[in-house]
Amino acid sequence: MAKKGEWEKLDSQNQELLLMMEAVRSLDSQFLTKTASPDQLERILQLLHSAIQLCSARKNQIAPLVNAFAKAIDAPAKP
């Protein structure tokens, strides 16, 4: 989705992605190294690194828009 620029789809997949990330995070490292080949582990790490880079780049792209909206909203009046 990120490689295709389909950022709007990430929102609908948010919960599923978070569950997947938590499942990977909770795996015992010994179990993972016994069941996955070094090539598989390297590919997983590459995919995660790529996803982080794409998301970081997207965050940087939309930061000016978010900041513009934040500045456009009037601060609440102080009593």
Give the model's pLDDT for residue 76.
Answer: 66
Cβ-based neighbours of 27, under 8 Å, separated by 6 or more: none
CA–CA distance, 62 with 8 (Å, rounded to integer): 13
Higher pLDDT, 78 or 55: 55
pTM of the full structure: 0.57
Cβ–Cβ < 8 Å for 55, 2: yes
Cβ–Cβ < 8 Å for 1, 10: yes
Give the model's pLDDT for residue 79.
Answer: 64
